[in-house]
Structure 1
């Protein structure tokens, strides 16, 4: 029996030198990566969410999130590109067909011949990359499928696991060197913001236990006696998970000037038990057990009657250049409005250029440390009181975190870019297709309703076809769906609705919801008579309908 090679996070000097040499190859391959020409290239997509698995389990249907990088299939419109896509569990064939049929001017069969789907057949709550590394025969199949001298690997986020896999395959990793991951943590982000002179909330240093957390929270309160709430953050949380809200209003009688520091520290420690979490299943016992492992900070909560959460996305090329890719207004939800639900592109005209400038400063600070590939910066914007401010000065901004990975704004923007072969225009902060038409979209990962449960991916295809919800490659408007594997079990699907104006994008988005709602009424769900005509079953000769 062949023994398993469990990935090690300990790197020897020769391994580090090999990884550095592999990464240098990206400089030569960068243009081939980004341009739609006839360069011959193999792309290995590892859509592994190599993040804290206990936090990931709080997201409904998270094991289907490996589908979020399926926009990469659109790269097959280059007739010389080959793509290898690896997942934990098989993807429904109709989902693959859906993406391949989006390719303009490329025969379906020709694109399908250049796509290799591989699977670990492992549904355990661990990162996909870890599962791959535990399967030497799967690693060998990948190795045999790629041409190392013409390949690169891309992933959702880069950790030591992805670095180990790149080393085993001897191909460069289009992603961050894992030794730089600290700069994407809560405390690392705050250091970058301070260096780049980007406005950010007052907060604490990183601590590793509950007692110290209470002390630094009190220090923050004493610096800001009028503070009403503060956010307690695990240092490596994401998408709002790992954040908790500490309400100071019930204990204002202990505010600085009314009680001693020791009394405040004790009261804060007691109030940790009643923190407001973003998940109904989270508890202080579980949250606090993570602090010795991940660390935690306390940060001032940004108050305001009208708030927004814009973000800016950028990338750092292998040559060290910083490029701004996009800006978004994020759609947040959850008990305290800290969970990412979706986004609209581009961000508000009155402040998108300011976001770009701050994003560029952050990118330069990251590039100076050797960072590579995508990053994003999330902000909180609060409208100023009064009407006297100029349009560009009506909002006050605070940067709250840096993400050194692909995120919820990555796949909708890349879907738009790859489908239209358009360009982002930094002077205006807009995206234009090849005809110079500005494009807009609304996207979400979290269109979720119980009434949608039971819909198969093939059912969704029938609904898309019947109601003409598909993306129209001529007008370059319509909806592109993702996370279709979540639909049947969780009633959850993702979508990007693209229009030629913000209003048109919103109308397209709302129509999708209206159609799905009408197709999943209680009568339709249980009568056995769906309102959309069902397509006849086509046998493909492999026993699959």
Structure 2
């Protein structure tokens, strides 16, 4: 590890001093959630940009933190939301109109939207730092003694931004992000005594990768497949599957060589991945080899938690993830809550991981992904496979539910209850994507939502909340969270939305007949 110079050490000291003010300011979860505060939202995807590009429409993923606008339901909260490119006004209006009991104008007055007007493929935090005038405008808009910053993930960019603004970052410090990588996750699982598949430490070249994969096969000769993971891959897009069954018995005495020869034919989970690119990334990011968990009835549940500024660990939710891709390793969406047969066990394992992360000084969100295999008679073998030390695909749907209903999560049942005492369920996705949806503008979607009454009903606390609306026109991609009073109702609401969108875009032609009584021409956008 490179030695830090005096300037870098000074910045680290300032960053940690700022984070300590969070602990002094909010002693409990309740005070934190209900406090008078200025919240700076910087939804910068400060991750490896080449890995990020594997996700279609990634440039619009800054919209995933727009659920934060619902924090404006607290009339003492002010919020600044910064994006690379301006957001369509109708998207902002959509979120503000979801706020129960708060006049639209009151919420809008407490919201400041800023943009760098820079669509370059680099982290938003970096773009802000490159614009001193924008930086100063943000600083002037904040009450520094009441402010904190929220981001998607925490890196040196976010730390520098925190120090330059004098605003504490509510997230794990950049030097702790190692625990959210594939190799770091495995270390935390071992230290917190959480079951996880056999595998390797991080390696940096193909020869060592072949060696650790061979060693893994030697320890478990019954293995059928091995997962090769780039250490900083996201959403399963950095994974590849090595099929050991394709290595003949005559090749097995030279396992390391045989595995090395099979690497170029691995099945990559990212659609356009190649061995040439993947192998080059190993020397840049590192990689691990891990036993692939087999099973006929297999699930991928997850647990989410939060570490407060005073070190308290809170379990927030459990989900059953919906996965796709060639071998079911690509994150597509989730169902809340996880299956009742194992969700309380997930909570306990998540608590063990959270306490270990808290010991290391981590803050705010963490998520743990698992593989659960049905062994019959109600028994499930649960293996942890990854920690997300950042916001993830399950963060925004759960926070949408929580902020819309002001309900509570019950640890004894693993259910979420509205203020009326009704358990709530949802199905959510970032990946409702069809070519036929391309060309739909945000206003077109609003017309469809209004005509078919697809919106979230604050009276029944059921319906659909849409997100990633900026992805729709170019990529035909949309996110949604469908909330019901039962798992079946949530599924029915989801299918209704899909059926309506399919009907409105039948044969690739957008049907505007539903908007024929709209009081303005179709070119009118209200601004």
Match of 2:463 among 473, 478, 483: 478
Query: Is the contact between residue 228 and residue 248 of structure 1 (CA under 8 Å) also seen in structure 2?
Result: yes
Written as runs of structure 1 = structure 2, the 5 A alignment for 1:303-322 is 303-322=294-313
Written as runs of structure 1 = structure 2, the 5 A alignment for 1:55-454 is 55-254=51-250, 259-260=252-253, 263-384=254-375, 387=376, 389=377, 391=378, 393=379, 395-454=380-439
Q: Deviations over 1:365-423 (max 9, x none)?
A: 11111111110100011111xx5x2x3x2x21111000000000000000000001111
The aligned residue for residue 461 of structure 1 is: 446
CA distance, structure 2, for counterparts of residue 455 and residue 475 of structure 1: 29
- Give the aligned length: 524
Query: Is the contact between residue 29 and residue 308 of structure 2 (CA under 8 Å) also seen in structure 1?
Result: no
Shift of 1:531: 4.1
Compared with structure 1, are the counterparts of its residues 34 and 76 closer, same or farther at alpha carbon in structure 2 (3 Å cutoff)?
A: farther
Shift of 1:11: 5.4
CA distance, structure 2, for counterparts of residue 380 and residue 285 of structure 1: 29
Shift of 1:13: 2.8
Shift of 1:136: 1.0
Query: Is the contact between residue 415 and residue 423 of structure 2 (CA under 8 Å) also seen in structure 1?
Result: yes
The aligned residue for residue 520 of structure 2 is: 537
Match of 2:12 among 13, 16, 30: 16
What runs of 5+ residues in structure 1 fail to find an aligned partner? 1-7
Compared with structure 1, are the counterparts of its residues 215 and 406 closer, same or farther at alpha carbon in structure 2 (3 Å cutoff)?
A: same
11-20 or 77-86: which moved more?
A: 11-20
Q: Deviations over 1:76-112 (max 9, x none)?
A: 1111211100000110000000000001111111111
CA distance, structure 2, for counterparts of residue 366 and residue 425 of structure 1: 23
Q: Deviations over 1:178-214 (max 9, x none)?
A: 1111111111111111111111101012111001100
Written as runs of structure 1 = structure 2, the 5 A alignment for 1:483-494 is 483-494=468-479
- TM-score (structure 1 length as normaliser): 0.93
The aligned residue for residue 517 of structure 1 is: 502
Compared with structure 1, are the counterparts of its residues 95 and 31 closer, same or farther at alpha carbon in structure 2 (3 Å cutoff)?
A: farther
CA distance, structure 1, for counterparts of residue 456 and residue 36 of structure 2: 28
Query: Is the contact between residue 497 and residue 505 of structure 1 (CA under 8 Å) also seen in structure 2?
Result: yes
Query: Is the contact between residue 27 and residue 309 of structure 2 (CA under 8 Å) also seen in structure 1?
Result: no
SS in 2 for 1:253: coil
Shift of 1:290: 1.3
Query: Is the contact between residue 436 and residue 508 of structure 2 (CA under 8 Å) also seen in structure 1?
Result: no
Q: Deviations over 1:310-331 (max 9, x none)?
A: 0000011111111100000000
Query: Is the contact between residue 85 and residue 117 of structure 1 (CA under 8 Å) also seen in structure 2?
Result: yes
CA distance, structure 2, for counterparts of residue 167 and residue 529 of structure 1: 50
Shift of 1:39: 4.0
Compared with structure 1, are the counterparts of its residues 466 and 531 closer, same or farther at alpha carbon in structure 2 (3 Å cutoff)?
A: closer
SS in 2 for 1:42: strand
CA distance, structure 1, for counterparts of residue 284 and residue 411 of structure 2: 40
Compared with structure 1, are the counterparts of its residues 91 and 267 closer, same or farther at alpha carbon in structure 2 (3 Å cutoff)?
A: same
Please give the root-mean-square deviation of Cα atoms over the aligned residues, in Å.
2.0
Q: Deviations over 1:326-377 (max 9, x none)?
A: 0000000011111100000000001000000000000111111111111010
Query: Is the contact between residue 312 and residue 326 of structure 1 (CA under 8 Å) also seen in structure 2?
Result: yes
412-421 or 267-276: which moved more?
A: 267-276
Query: Is the contact between residue 27 and residue 310 of structure 2 (CA under 8 Å) also seen in structure 1?
Result: no
CA distance, structure 1, for counterparts of residue 317 and residue 29 of structure 2: 19
Compared with structure 1, are the counterparts of its residues 144 and 523 closer, same or farther at alpha carbon in structure 2 (3 Å cutoff)?
A: closer
Compared with structure 1, are the counterparts of its residues 11 and 365 closer, same or farther at alpha carbon in structure 2 (3 Å cutoff)?
A: farther
- TM-score (structure 2 length as normaliser): 0.96
